[in-house]
Amino acid sequence: MSEKPSKKKLIIVLIIVALIIAGLVAIGKRVKTAEDTKESPTNAQQSGFNKSQHSLDQAGSIWWVVNKSRPVGNSYAPDDLVIPDIPIRSGAGTDERRVSQKIAVPLQQLVAAAKQNGVNLLLASGYRSYDLQQTVYAQNVKQLGQAEADKVSAKPGTSEHQTGLSLDIGATNRKCEIDICFADTPEGQWVAQHAHEYGFTIRYLQSKENKTGYSYEPWHLRYVGPELAAELKKTGQTMEEFFGL
């Protein structure tokens, strides 16, 4: 008779112990799930490209998207313009010799690397003020007519050149300067293959006029940083396409 209560107590103890173990296991699983949840954004960020690293709208941002429908305005001027230490087209005006300080060193590195490969590059045109772009655009309209000018020249207030983050690159021998044939020169081919390594993208790609609003310009570079430049190179996309604008 005295054994029955002992057995019952033992069974109860075993049940309690089992419940405690089950509870600890459940808590452990919840903790691990919570930790996994905390880590998941980081993992996703590492495996995919983070498109929110820089602003697409803020003036001066290296990802600032400027085009016909996203104007710079008539009053904007970068406050960090410098003259890069590279060859510059002799006929370039004071404004055009300068670029934003953000891109000066990468530009110098690009030109130096090209030279090591026997390719000699120069800055054909850098920053352009609103007033200078007004003159450039008017000249193009006079020479080409309004419709054609709009394919190759930005209306004042809508030019990337006004941001100081873009430039026209050329060869020191001046062959095919600001011309589509630049793409077929050794200089143009080197730029097309290597510009992204220094954070530059060919902004107006071939057959992308419906995305950018401009005809193919193999000489027009825009600084966006090495990460984005590599993505644009890999995907063959414009900034408009990549960011869904």
- Domain-embedded: residue 58: no
Same domain, 25 and 105: no
pLDDT grade, residue 27 (50/70/90)?
low
**Whole-number pLDDT of residue 4:** 52
Query: CA torsion 208→213→218→221, rounded to 10°?
Result: -120
- Domain-embedded: residue 73: no
191, pLDDT greater than 60:
yes
The tens digit of pLDDT for each residue in 60-74 reads 999 999 999 999 999
Same domain, 95 and 178: yes
- Domain-embedded: residue 61: no
- Domain-embedded: residue 132: yes
Q: What is the CATH number of the domain that holds 139?
A: 3.30.1380.10
Contact between residue 120 and residue 114 where contact means Cβ atoms under 8 Å apart = yes
- Domain-embedded: residue 183: yes
- Domain-embedded: residue 57: no
- DSSP assignment of 15-81 equals HHHHHHHHHHHHHHHHHHHHHHHHHHHHHHHHHS--TTSS-SSSTT-TT---BTTB---SS---S-E
Other C-beta atoms closer than 10 Å to the C-beta of 125 total 26
Contact between residue 142 and residue 131 where contact means Cβ atoms under 8 Å apart = no
Chain-centre distance of CA 88, in angstroms? 24
How many independent structural domains does the chain possess? 2
Residue of 218, 215, 234, 217 lying closest to 226 (CA atoms): 234
Same domain, 99 and 215: yes
The two structure tokens encoding residue 204: 């107006």
1, pLDDT greater than 60:
no
Tokens 């820089």, located at residue: 54
Same domain, 220 and 172: yes
Same domain, 113 and 227: yes
Same domain, 123 and 210: yes
The two structure tokens encoding residue 171: 């060869």
Question: Span 56-60, mean pLDDT?
Answer: 97
32, pLDDT greater than 90:
no
**Whole-number pLDDT of residue 40:** 38
For the whole model, what pTM was predicted? 0.80
- Which are the contacts of 184, defined by CB distance < 8 A and separation ≥ 6? 176
pLDDT grade, residue 34 (50/70/90)?
very low
Q: Which residue would you say has higher pLDDT here, 238 or 11?
A: 238
**Whole-number pLDDT of residue 13:** 59
Contact between residue 55 and residue 66 where contact means Cβ atoms under 8 Å apart = no
Same domain, 105 and 204: yes
38, pLDDT greater than 50:
no
Contact between residue 166 and residue 200 where contact means Cβ atoms under 8 Å apart = no
Which secondary structure element, helix H or strand E, spans residue 173, and what is its range? Answer: none
**Whole-number pLDDT of residue 48:** 85
Tokens 């401009």, located at residue: 214
Strands, sheet with 200-204, edge to edge from the N-terminal-most edge strand: 121-125, 166-171, 217-223, 200-204
Same domain, 33 and 109: no
The tens digit of pLDDT for each residue in 148-157 reads 999 999 999 9
The two structure tokens encoding residue 213: 């609003």
The two structure tokens encoding residue 63: 């990802």
The tens digit of pLDDT for each residue in 77-97 reads 999 999 999 999 998 888 999
Contact between residue 95 and residue 162 where contact means Cβ atoms under 8 Å apart = no
52, pLDDT greater than 70:
yes
Domain enclosing residue 197, as ranges: 81-242
Same domain, 99 and 196: yes
- Average pLDDT for the chain: 88
